[in-house]
Amino acid sequence: MDESALVLIIGGIVFTTFAVEGIAGFGSTVLALPFVSMLIGLERAVPMLSSMGLLLSLFIVCRSYRDLDLREYGFIVLHAAPGVAAGLFLMDFLPRSVSIALLVCFILFVGIRGLVRFFRVRDPLPAPGAEAPHTLLARCILLLGGVIQGAFSSGGPVVVMYASKAIPEKSRFRAVLSSLWLTTNSVMALKWTVAGNVWTPFPGRMIPCLLPFVVCGMVTGDFLHHKVDQRKFTFLVYSVLIIAGCLLGTNLVRSLLS
C-alpha cells in the first residue's frame, strides 16, 4: 500500500480512537491496535500508538489537573507499577495468544456486567461519601492491569474495572486515568527509544505525519467530554470495553488463522 494512503487510513483510525479517549480517559490504544496492527504489524503498532498516546495523556492532564484525585492516582500507581515492570520484562516470553484470549474474556465480562448493572440500576453513582473499594481483589486487579499494560499496552480496560467503581465522577475518572497513562507510557516509550523500537525509519516518518490527526482527535474528545452527562458517560465506558474486547478477539482469531 502507498505510504500516503496508509497515513490517511491510520490517521482516520487515530482521530476516532483518540477522540474516544479524549471523552472517556482511556481506549485509544486498545481500540486502534487491532486495526493498525493489521496494517503495519503488532511490533510496529504498539510502540507507535503508545508514543503518540503520550501527547494525548499530557494534554488531558494539563486540561484537567484540578480534577486529579492524588489519593486514587497514588493508589493505582503503587499497585500497577510493579505489574508494568513485570509486563515489560515478560512481553517477549508470554504466550501472546493465550494471554490475549484471557484478556478478551475478562474485558467482555467487565463490559457486559457493567451494562447489565447500568440498565438495572437507575443511578450508577455510589452514595455520597462512599469509600473506594481498596480491597485485596482491587489490588490484584490493578496489578494485573499493570502486567497487561507493560506487555501489550492494553491494560486500560482492566484498570477501568477498578476505576469505574472507585472514581465514578467523569472528570476525576478521566484525570486519574490520563495521569496513569502518562506515567506508564513515559516509562515504556523510554524503554522503546533505548531499544530503538520507535524511531526506526518507518515509525519515525509516520509519527510526525499522524500528529495532526492526534491533535484533532484529542481536541474533539475534550470538547465532547464536557458535553456528555454522567449517565451517558458511564454507558460509554462500558460500551468501549465491549467494543475493545470484540476487536481484540477478532484480531486474535485472524492471527491464529493466518
Tens of pLDDT along 9-24? Answer: 999 999 998 998 888 8
The pLDDT value given to residue 117: 80
Q: Of the candidates 152, 161, 164, 96, which has an alpha carbon nearest to the alpha carbon of residue 124? A: 164
**Cell numbers representing residue 37 in the block:** 496492527
**Which of 37-51, 141-155, 225-239 is the least confident region?**
141-155
Cα(17)–Cα(249) distance, rounded to whole angstroms? 18
The pLDDT value given to residue 154: 62
The pLDDT value given to residue 43: 73
Compute the 3-state secondary structure of the chain and give helix, strand, coil in percent, each to the nearest 5. 85, 0, 15
Cα(128)–Cα(197) distance, rounded to whole angstroms? 46
The pLDDT value given to residue 198: 57
Cα(228)–Cα(40) distance, rounded to whole angstroms? 34
- 104 or 176: which carries more pLDDT confidence? 176
Cα(130)–Cα(150) distance, rounded to whole angstroms? 31
Residue ranges of the domains in the chain? 3-257
Predicted structure pTM score: 0.76
HSE-up of residue 159 (Cα within 13 Å, Cβ side): 35
Cα(196)–Cα(191) distance, rounded to whole angstroms? 9
Report helix, strand or coil for 151. helix
pLDDT in tens, 99-157: 677 777 877 887 888 888 888 865 544 444 444 567 888 898 888 888 877 776 666 77
